[in-house]
């Protein structure tokens, strides 16, 4: 059983903790910088088997530029992420990286921003397309712009024409075993994290989302039925100031929304269409002051006669300031089993567990 597997790994190895099992697994170690790859053993949820670049060498990014997306210079982030071998990518110093085009990842990569203040901003952002085993940790990603109609390299042996990209912070397309952890994401042209086109085995954890309209889209379209296999865990995130909707907006698949702190939304928090299964456990939902936006949930452009059969449940959620969650479905246990990926903690612990959501100011030789 998935829950036992996850718990049996004794994630509380250094437990100095807040009860957040990912953080308690590595953050209490003052020598985290000498044991960076330990992070790959700390995953939870549907993306917990993402090893990223654990089995490869370290690659140190020394150059913030992105002058030529077809022939990237050694030392740049783009040169690192396109390589065919596993790599654990770290940064020599603080940097702001303005990408000319989207950053097209290759498989078995970790981008680890710990110990430096790294911003990917004001240009293209991260595309994870038709690959596996990617970990994105510790970045500030914001003000992403639409790019495209250009040649971009995606491996040492291949570059190709890219049509227009929407300007997502992180776009996951036809990919699996993906873990997005402890990033600060805001103010992009389209979504902050979008996962579409048959992507699955994804964990989105410990991120801080702010100042954005359509935060997270999971599922390509109502007609794209390959996304029926999608499984995504959304855990320990802080959905914060200036957010409007889609936290997430789901289609078709199985979504475990667990122990997140929702302090701001303007329209709704969790939406969906095309019969997704949504398992909401141990979250804190604080409704906005607007008396017409108190509902956590939204069924998008669907008649009640249809959505009343969708499996959406709220268990142990803390509903604050008049927030209410509209459940549906007969509660088919098999359906919720496929939308369960770890044990939820009490919603009373959510604030402590999400207090350090977003990119962490880690310094070598100290607990992070």
Using the 8-state DSSP alphabet, how is residue 334 labeled? H
Instruction: Tell me whether residue 246 is one of the annotated catalytic residues.
Output: yes
pLDDT beyond 80 at 8: no
pLDDT at 10: 46
pLDDT band per the 50, 70, 90 thresholds, residue 189: very high
Counted domains in the chain: 1
pLDDT beyond 70 at 1: no
Say what the pTM is.
0.95
Q: Tell me: the pLDDT tens digits for 13-22?
A: 444 788 999 9
**Residue 120 Cα distances to 154, 186, 213, angstroms:** 18, 11, 19
Burial 338-357 (b: 16+ CB within 10 A, else e): bbbbbebbebebbeebbebb
Average pLDDT, whole number, for the chain?
A: 95
Tokens of 363: 């310094």
DSSP codes joined into one string, 260-320: -EE---SS-SEEEESS-EEEEES-EEE--S-TT--BSEEETT--HHHHTTS-EEEES-EEE
Tokens of 149: 């109609």
DSSP codes joined into one string, 145-184: --B-SEEEEEETTEEEEE--B---SEEEES-EEEEEES-E
pLDDT mean over 148-155:
98
- Position 19 in a domain: no
pLDDT mean over 238-261:
98
- Position 26 in a domain: no
For residue 150, give the nearest of 99, 191, 189 by alpha carbon: 99
pLDDT band per the 50, 70, 90 thresholds, residue 321: very high
Using the 8-state DSSP alphabet, how is residue 353 labeled? H
Q: Among residues 246, 249, 299, 338, which one is catalytic?
A: 246
- Position 213 in a domain: yes
CATH number for 122: 2.160.20.10
Dihedral of the alpha carbons of 246, 251, 255, 260, in degrees to the nearest 10:
0
Domain span at 225: 38-354
pLDDT band per the 50, 70, 90 thresholds, residue 335: confident
Rg of the Cα trace of the chain?
A: 19
Q: Are 274 and 295 in contact (CB under 8 A)?
A: no
- Position 14 in a domain: no
- Position 108 in a domain: yes
Vertex 187: Cα angle to 325 and 252 (nearest 5): 45
Distance CA 45, CA 215 (A): 20
pLDDT at 18: 84
- Position 8 in a domain: no
pLDDT-wise least confident of 33-47, 196-210, 332-346: 332-346
Using the 8-state DSSP alphabet, how is residue 343 labeled? P
pLDDT mean over 49-62:
98
- Position 253 in a domain: yes
- Position 211 in a domain: yes
């Amino acid at each position: 059983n998935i829950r036992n597997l996850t718990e049996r790994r004794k994630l509380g190895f250094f437990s100095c903790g807040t009860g957040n099992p990912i953080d308690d697994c590595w953050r209490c170690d003052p020598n985290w910088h000498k044991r960076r790859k330990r992070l790959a053993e700390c995953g939870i949820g549907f993306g917990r088997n993402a090893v990223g670049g654990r089995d490869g060498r370290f690659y140190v990014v020394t150059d913030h530029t992105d002058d030529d997306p077809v022939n990237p210079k050694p030392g740049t982030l783009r040169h690192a992420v396109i390589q065919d071998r596993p790599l654990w990518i770290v940064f020599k110093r603080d940097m702001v990286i303005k990408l000319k085009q989207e950053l097209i990842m290759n498989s078995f990569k970790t981008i680890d921003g710990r110990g430096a203040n790294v911003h990917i901003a004001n240009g293209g952002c991260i595309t994870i397309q038709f690959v596996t085993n990617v970990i994105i940790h510790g970045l500030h990603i914001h003000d992403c712009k639409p790019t495209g109609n250009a040649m971009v390299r995606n491996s040492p042996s291949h570059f190709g024409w890219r049509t227009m990209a929407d300007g997502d912070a992180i776009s996951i397309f036809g990919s699996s075993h993906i873990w997005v952890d402890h990033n600060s994401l805001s103010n992009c042209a389209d979504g902050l994290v979008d996962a579409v086109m048959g992507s699955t085995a994804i964990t989105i954890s410990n991120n801080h989302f702010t100042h954005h309209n359509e935060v997270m889209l999971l599922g390509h379209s109502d007609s794209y039925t390959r996304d029926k296999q999608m499984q995504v865990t959304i855990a320990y995130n802080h959905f914060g100031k200036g957010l409007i909707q889609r936290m997430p907006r789901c289609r078709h698949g199985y979504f475990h929304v667990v122990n997140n702190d929702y302090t701001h939304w303007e329209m709704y928090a969790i939406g969906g269409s095309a019969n997704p299964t949504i398992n909401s456990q141990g979250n804190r939902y604080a409704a906005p002051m607007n008396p017409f936006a108190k509902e956590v949930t939204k069924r998008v452009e669907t008649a009640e006669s249809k959505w009343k059969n969708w499996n959406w449940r709220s268990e142990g959620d803390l509903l604050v300031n008049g927030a209410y969650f509209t459940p549906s479905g007969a509660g088919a246990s098999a359906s919720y089993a496929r939308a369960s990926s770890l044990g939820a903690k009490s919603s009373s612990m959510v604030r402590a567990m999400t207090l350090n959501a977003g990119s962490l100011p880690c310094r070598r030789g100290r607990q992070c």
